[in-house]
Amino acid sequence: MFEVYKKELKELLRDKKTLMFVVALPVLIFPIIFAVMAFISSQAALEADQKVNTYVIINGEYAQEFTDKVFYHKSFELYKGSKAFNTIEDLKAGVTAGDIDMGIYLPSNAVKTLDGGEQSKWQVVFNDAKSINFLFKRVKELAQEYSDVLQADKLKSFGIEESTHKSILNPIEVVKVDTADKRENLGEKIGGFLPYLLIPLVLMGATYPAIDLGAGEKERGTLETLLLTPITRTELVLGKFITLLTTSIASTTITVVSMGGWVAVALAFADLEFIKTAFSTLAVTDLLMIFVLLLPLAAIFSSLALAISIYARTFKEAQNYMAPLSMGVFFPIIISIMPNMELTAKTAFIPVTNVALAIKDIIKGTVDYTFVGLIFLATALIAGALLAFCVKWFNREDVLFR
């Protein structure tokens, strides 16, 4: 068994494609992808924040204070072109043609309406399909400020003291007293994301080498010679299985260590308080517990990938069979982030979902260790059953000689 393991590992380490998937991808490519994504999205947000938008206000003289606020705001610049804008349709056409970024339409009877005790309806015309858009939010803020002034003036005109305005407008204030500490709050957010990263990595670390170890043997014509050596099929399967377990765990560990390294680098150069707080809440024992839970999961994926691979006749066929497995693994992870999904005695028996839920609880610091034990046991039992199936599969002539 160990001869098979040693040989498989040696061969895999000499395969550039495997090294690419198991080592290079986690060490370099993932952090690069995340860094590039973070850079692009922050740049886009910064650009949207700093952009000066051209605007037109129709009937602005009826709300001069508001019109002035917009005029002096750093994000807005009054349209200086020759086109005339008189109706809401003109504003729509101007935004569509790109002459202006935004148009504000105030009704001509705005003051009269307010004086008559009615609500005045203002319309903001802009293109809301852009992914990052601060326009509407800023106009709303300015309008709110103006609205507050009007509100205060109105109440004063009724003879109501300014000190009592707050209690009249908001007689009841509901205040949230959160029992969740900072770690629990952050854990809820990060803990939901982490299984998306870790679990597919565990699978990916097993699938690619599995294709080489099963279907690859058939395609190269080495499987038959291997079957004719005096080692039992159980030893043969175990040798290959442990190889896959190693690559799966190695790939995940390398990724986590590499990401940790990149986060440390990022923290050294930038003041990222949120990330600092999030990582400072994690203890080594938490990481170890996550690692322990991923072990039987890696065993499940390794057995499945090996069984699929040995059934396939060629490398390409095996890749086709692996595709649904790679996509299917996301389904139980999605279940884990559904509202009200919690780690219970029942959910502890749902494969993959249970590990995802446990990871979330570990990060939050609210994990029940009984459930962790239960999950480990349940996952290990499934892994054992799948391994036994794999051995049986390797004994079937119609699988080996398809």
Partner 1 sequence: MIEVTGLKKKFKLTKDHKKNKLEKVDPREDKDYFHSVRDVSFQCAKGEVLGLLGPNGAGKTTTLRMISTALKPDEGTIYIAGEDIVKKPLFGRKSIGFLSGSTGLYGRLTVKENIEYFAKLHGMNKAAIKTRCDELFDLLDMHSFIDKRAENLSTGMKQKANIARAVVHQPAVVVLDEPTTGLDIMTTQTVIEFIKGLKAQGTPVIFSTHHLDEVALLCDRVAVINEGISCFDGTVEEFKQAGNSEELNQAFMNILTEKHNV
Residue 137 binds partner 1 (CB under 8 A):
no
Name which of residues 231 to 290 contact partner 1 (CB under 8 A): 231-232
> Is 303 within 8 Å of 390 (Cβ atoms)?
yes
7 vs 276, which CB is nearer to partner 1?
Answer: 7
Q: Which stretch binds partner 1 (CB under 8 A): 113-121, 220-228, 259-267, 351-359?
A: 220-228
270 Cβ partners below 8 Å, 6+ apart? Answer: none
Helix axes 284-311, 182-213, angle to 10 degrees: 30
Please count the residues of this chain forming the interface with partner 1, following the rule CB under 8 A: 22
Candidates 45-53, 214-222, 333-341, 370-378: pick the segment binding partner 1 (CB under 8 A): 214-222
Among 177, 228, 270, 284, binds partner 1 (CB under 8 A): 228
Residue with Cβ nearer partner 1 (192 or 216): 216
Do the bridges between strand 102-105 and strand 123-126 make them parallel or antiparallel, or are there none, so unpaired? antiparallel
Q: Which stretch binds partner 1 (CB under 8 A): 215-223, 282-290, 304-312, 340-348?
A: 215-223
User: Quick check: 222 binds partner 1 (CB under 8 A)?
Assistant: yes
Compute the distance between CA of residue 397 and CA of residue 67 in angstroms, rounded to an integer: 83
- Interface pick for partner 1 out of 84, 221, 268, 273 (rule CB under 8 A): 221
- Out of 9, 111, 227, 250, the residue judged to bind partner 1 by CB under 8 A: 227
**For partner 1, which residue of 161, 162, 271, 398 counts as binding (CB under 8 A)?**
398
Q: Could you give the CA distance from residue 390 to residue 387 in angstroms, rounded to a whole number?
A: 5
Determine if 11 is a binding residue for partner 1 (CB under 8 A): yes
Q: At what angle do helices 284-311 and 233-269 cross, to 10 degrees?
A: 140
| CB nearer partner 1, residue 227 or residue 350 | 227
Stretch touching partner 1 by CB under 8 A, among 92-100, 195-203, 221-229, 260-268: 221-229
Distant-in-sequence, close-in-space partners of 217: CB < 8 Å, separation ≥ 6 = 223, 226
Q: Does 4 bind partner 1 (CB under 8 A)?
A: yes
- β-sheet with 76-78: strand ranges across: 76-78, 53-58, 102-105, 123-126
Is 148 or 224 the residue whose CB approaches partner 1 more closely?
224
Q: Is 226 exposed, middle or buried (0-12, 13-18, 19+ CB in 10 A)?
A: middle
First-to-last alpha carbon distance for the chain, in angstroms, is 25
User: Binding of partner 1 at residue 220 (CB under 8 A)?
Assistant: yes
Our finding on whether 320 is near partner 1 (CB under 8 A) is: no
The residue from 98, 159, 230, 339 that contacts partner 1 (CB under 8 A) is: 230
Question: By the criterion CB under 8 A, which residues form the site for partner 1?
Answer: 3-4, 7, 10-11, 14-15, 220-222, 224-232, 397-398, 401
